Amino acid sequence: MADERYSDTTTTTAAPAEHTTTIIERRSGGSGIAITLVLLVAVVIGAFFLFNQNSAESRKDDAVASAARSVGAAADKAGDAISGETK
């Protein structure tokens, strides 16, 4: 968090003008940068796992489709054998 310190100094002399000095000092601990880096790393890791999960789902879907084609081809062969047709 930022620490702020305000100092007001008023000096009065025989002169009719009044002299006022205001010093504003801001200090920042830099914790915002650390939090940003941690969040960025978390987003990158989450995206990595999300893309890997989608890739795994695609491979699973392709395997199921391939198995279905194989079963369909076997069923066609069995049907042809039963009816006596040859291809």
Q: Tell me the two tokens of residue 42.
A: 């978390």
Tokens encoding 70: 């194989």
Question: What pTM was computed for the model?
Answer: 0.41
| pLDDT single digits (tens) 37-58 | 999 999 999 999 888 887 888 8
pLDDT tens-place string over residues 1-33: 556 666 666 665 555 566 778 877 777 677 888
H or E, element range at 27: strand 19-27
Q: What is the CA radius of gyration of the chain?
A: 38
Separation CA 33–CA 22 (nearest Å): 30
Rounded CA-CA distance 63/68 in Å is 9
